């Protein structure tokens, strides 16, 4: 529907996990709502990020388990990946999830408008109405009007200066999910969540993988002990890691990429022979995973006085970026699909003038789905001590857990940080099997009155992976049972 005389209470621009959730919540609250999307419904997350990558990683997990079938008393024949079928399965799942969003829009009576949106400012003669131009895929333009606009346009992969993404040999994550054939070798630039997830996936298929990271450790936003454990696990899997290195050059040589890196060095370090310090790498593919840039271009933000700060849309505490204008998710630099969804609900409730629970930014769970999985919430031990927060720290290794031994996966640990005086959860850091699901219990503890004592006296079913949380908390209180 692209009728030029359509008037809405709310128009959401972008249908990712922030946009589509905001649109649905708006209609639930009685607001006439439309959502404008220039590509597939569901945005990057459902089509090119969260969902299809997890399909790929599930395949990798299953493949690695099958390689160890003999350990479980199972005799199998030759095991090898069918790369084309793996990619096809991932794309099929993304397509089904995208269609699920279309169904939800229809169910909730949300007008889904296909096209590229641009803000035109206030409608002539209307103090409370914004005008939005919508250009469809055939170049036909129309306009819609709205009392409120929610910008949920997301972000895209970025590269480094001088490194051109050619979609063939030097690629970003979208191309990494649709390569025509499995590469024999790959260099991954960046060891954040995207980088280590793709490194984990391709290594499971048999690709030779090297990670190059500018910071001193893998997953640099996580607790240092988590980084150390991941480096150890990746080393066992044959994934090479070159941390504290920077990329100097990368050129497409036709059938491979020639890559030059060198140690980053530290401020104040004596000058060194740069040429001697440089390393030359070669790989069929260079995957650039160094971060994202907000989708703010050609949105007409200047027409409505929306400000950009360090590349992101600037918002206030209520996610406002103008009169009747709101922004959520990646476009404001927050990252994480579940944060965008929470902000979408918050903004919808603000617009509807009902109680809107503020997003708890101090209690956002972060999950990385490599093998082993990583999950965390709250402060790292390093940050807690830097803030002079008195803490009790407890760790429980999966190697001491009966369920982990039965499952054949004893890598990793759970680490909990509890306030030494109040017993409140300060932070939790997990690496190992099922931790991206286990983090929910600790996130609940972070946002409620659950404390260390109440958690250890909560009966955890046996045998389960969740017992590691109880065990780590017991260790923090000084009365570990199974250690």
Distances in Å between the Cα of 393 and the Cα atoms of 226, 389, 466, 473 are: 14, 12, 18, 8
Residue 4 has pLDDT above 80, yes or no: no
Residues 406 and 257 placed together within one structural domain of the fold? no
Residues 392 and 247 placed together within one structural domain of the fold? no
Cα torsion at 336, 204, 226, 171 (round to 10°)?
A: -50
Q: How many domains is the chain partitioned into structurally?
A: 3
Euclidean distance between CA atoms 288 and 158, whole angstroms: 8
CB atoms within 10 A of CB 187: 26
Residues 307 and 454 placed together within one structural domain of the fold? no
Alpha helix positions (H), 31-128? 43-48, 50-67, 83-107
Residues 327 and 410 placed together within one structural domain of the fold? no
Band (pLDDT 50/70/90 cuts) for residue 276 is low
Output the pLDDT for position 427.
Answer: 98
Domain boundary among 265, 290, 315: 290
Burial bucket for residue 385 (CB in 10 Å: 0-12, 13-18, 19+):
middle
Residue 165 in any domain: the answer is: no
Question: For residues 132 and 151, is the Cβ–Cβ distance under 8 A?
Answer: no
Residues 38 and 151 placed together within one structural domain of the fold? yes
Sign, CA torsion 330/323/108/298: negative
Residue 105 in any domain: the answer is: yes
Euclidean distance between CA atoms 35 and 12, whole angstroms: 5
Residues 209 and 146 placed together within one structural domain of the fold? no
Domain boundary among 290, 321, 352: 290
Residues 128 and 43 placed together within one structural domain of the fold? yes
Output the pLDDT for position 150.
Answer: 98
Instruction: Give the tens place of pLDDT for each residue, 192-244.
Output: 999 999 999 999 999 999 999 999 999 999 999 999 999 999 999 999 999 99
Output the pLDDT for position 45.
Answer: 86
- In 3-state terms the chain splits into helix, strand, coil percentages (rounded to 5) of 35, 25, 40
Q: Measuring CA to CA, which residue among 223, 246, 162 is closest to residue 378?
A: 223
Euclidean distance between CA atoms 344 and 274, whole angstroms: 49
Residues 81 and 60 placed together within one structural domain of the fold? yes
Average the pLDDT over each of 77-91, 127-141, 333-347, 349-363 and give the range with the smallest value: 127-141
Residue 449 in any domain: the answer is: yes
* Active-site residue list: 462
The mean per-residue pLDDT over the stretch 278-297 comes to: 96
Output the pLDDT for position 275.
Answer: 62
Residue 483 in any domain: the answer is: no
Judged by DSSP in three states, 15 sits in coil
**What tokens were used for 383?**
């940050």
CATH of the domain at 239: 3.50.50.60
CATH of the domain at 419: 3.30.390.30
Output the pLDDT for position 3.
Answer: 42
Residue 367 in any domain: the answer is: no
Judged by DSSP in three states, 156 sits in strand
Q: Characterize the bridge pairing of strands 245-252 and 33-37.
A: unpaired
Residue 452 in any domain: the answer is: yes
Question: For residues 170 and 254, is the Cβ–Cβ distance under 8 A?
Answer: no
Band (pLDDT 50/70/90 cuts) for residue 269 is low
Output the pLDDT for position 277.
Answer: 83
Residues 127 and 15 placed together within one structural domain of the fold? yes
Euclidean distance between CA atoms 102 and 99, whole angstroms: 5
Domain boundary among 335, 361, 387: 361
Question: For residues 333 and 294, is the Cβ–Cβ distance under 8 A?
Answer: yes
Euclidean distance between CA atoms 166 and 182, whole angstroms: 17
Consecutive H or E run containing 170: strand 170-171
Question: For residues 409 and 350, is the Cβ–Cβ distance under 8 A?
Answer: no
Euclidean distance between CA atoms 423 and 17, whole angstroms: 34
Residues 259 and 193 placed together within one structural domain of the fold? yes
Percent of the chain with pLDDT over 70: 96
Residues 312 and 254 placed together within one structural domain of the fold? no
CB atoms within 10 A of CB 71: 9
The mean per-residue pLDDT over the stretch 268-280 comes to: 67
Cα 343-349-354 angle, rounded to 5 deg: 145
Residue 384 has pLDDT above 50, yes or no: yes
Domain of residue 378, residue span: 372-477
Q: Does 463 sit behind a cis peptide bond, omega within 30 degrees of 0 on the bond before it?
A: yes
Output the pLDDT for position 1.
Answer: 37
Residue 2 has pLDDT above 50, yes or no: no
Instruction: Give the tens place of pLDDT for each residue, 83-131.
Output: 999 999 999 999 999 999 999 999 999 999 999 999 998 876 666 799 9
> Could you tell me how far CA 370 lies from the centroid of its own chain?
12
Output the pLDDT for position 5.
Answer: 58
Q: What is the mean pLDDT of the chain?
A: 94
Judged by DSSP in three states, 358 sits in coil
Burial bucket for residue 191 (CB in 10 Å: 0-12, 13-18, 19+):
buried
Residue 432 has pLDDT above 70, yes or no: yes
Instruction: Give the tens place of pLDDT for each residue, 71-87.
Output: 999 999 999 999 999 99
The mean per-residue pLDDT over the stretch 52-80 comes to: 94
CB burial string 231-261: b at 16+ within 10 A, e below: bebbeeeebebebebebeebeeeeebbebeb
The mean per-residue pLDDT over the stretch 468-477 comes to: 98
């Amino acid at each position: 529907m692209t009728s030029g005389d359509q008037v809405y209470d709310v128009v959401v621009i972008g249908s990712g996990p922030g946009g589509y959730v905001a649109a649905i919540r708006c209609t639930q609250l009685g607001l006439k709502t439309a959502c404008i999307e220039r590509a597939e419904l569901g945005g990057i997350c459902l089509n090119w990020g969260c969902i299809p990558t997890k399909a790929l990683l599930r395949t990798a997990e299953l493949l690695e388990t099958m390689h160890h079938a003999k350990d479980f008393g199972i005799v199998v024949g030759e095991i090898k990946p069918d790369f084309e079928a793996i990619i096809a399965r991932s794309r099929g799942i993304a397509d089904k999830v995208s269609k699920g969003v279309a169904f939800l829009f229809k169910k909730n009576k949300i007008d889904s408008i296909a096209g590229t949106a641009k803000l035109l400012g206030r409608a002539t003669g209307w103090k409370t109405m914004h005008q939005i131009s919508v250009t469809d895929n055939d170049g036909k333009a129309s306009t819609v009007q709205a009392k409120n606009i929610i910008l949920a346009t997301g972000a895209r992969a970025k590269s480094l200066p001088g490194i051109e993404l050619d979609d063939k040999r030097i690629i970003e994550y979208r191309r990494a999910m649709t390569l025509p054939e499995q590469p024999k070798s790959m260099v991954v630039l960046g060891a954040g969540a995207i980088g280590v997830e793709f490194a984990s996936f391709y290594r499971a298929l048999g690709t030779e993988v090297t990670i190059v990271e500018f910071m001193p450790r893998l997953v640099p936003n996580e607790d240092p002990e988590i980084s150390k454990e991941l480096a150890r696990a990746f080393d066992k899997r044959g994934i090479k890691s070159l941390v504290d290195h920077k990329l100097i050059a990368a050129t497409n040589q036709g059938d491979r990429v020639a890559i030059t890196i060198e140690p980053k060095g530290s401020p104040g370090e004596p000058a060194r022979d740069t040429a001697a310090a440089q390393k030359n790498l070669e790989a069929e593919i260079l995957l650039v995973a160094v971060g994202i840039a907000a989708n703010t271009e050609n949105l007409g933000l200047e027409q409505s006085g929306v400000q950009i700060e360090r590349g992101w849309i600037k918002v206030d505490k209520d996610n406002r970026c103008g009169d009747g204008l709101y922004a959520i998710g990646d476009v404001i630099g927050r990252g994480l699909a579940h944060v965008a969804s929470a902000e979408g609900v918050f903004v919808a409730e603000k617009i509807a003038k009902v109680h809107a629970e503020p997003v708890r930014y101090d209690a956002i769970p972060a999950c990385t789905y490599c093998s082993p999985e990583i999950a965390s919430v709250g402060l790292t031990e390093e940050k807690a001590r830097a803030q002079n927060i008195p803490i009790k720290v407890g760790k429980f290794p999966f190697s001491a857990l009966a369920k982990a031994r039965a499952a054949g996966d004893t890598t990793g640990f759970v680490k909990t940080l509890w306030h030494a005086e109040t017993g409140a959860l300060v932070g939790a850091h997990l690496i190992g099997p099922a931790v991206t699901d286990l983090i929910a219990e600790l996130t609940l503890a972070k946002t409620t009155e659950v404390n260390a004592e109440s958690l250890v006296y909560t009966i955890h079913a046996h045998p389960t992976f969740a017992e590691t949380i109880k065990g780590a908390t017991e260790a923090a209180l000084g009365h570990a049972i199974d250690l």
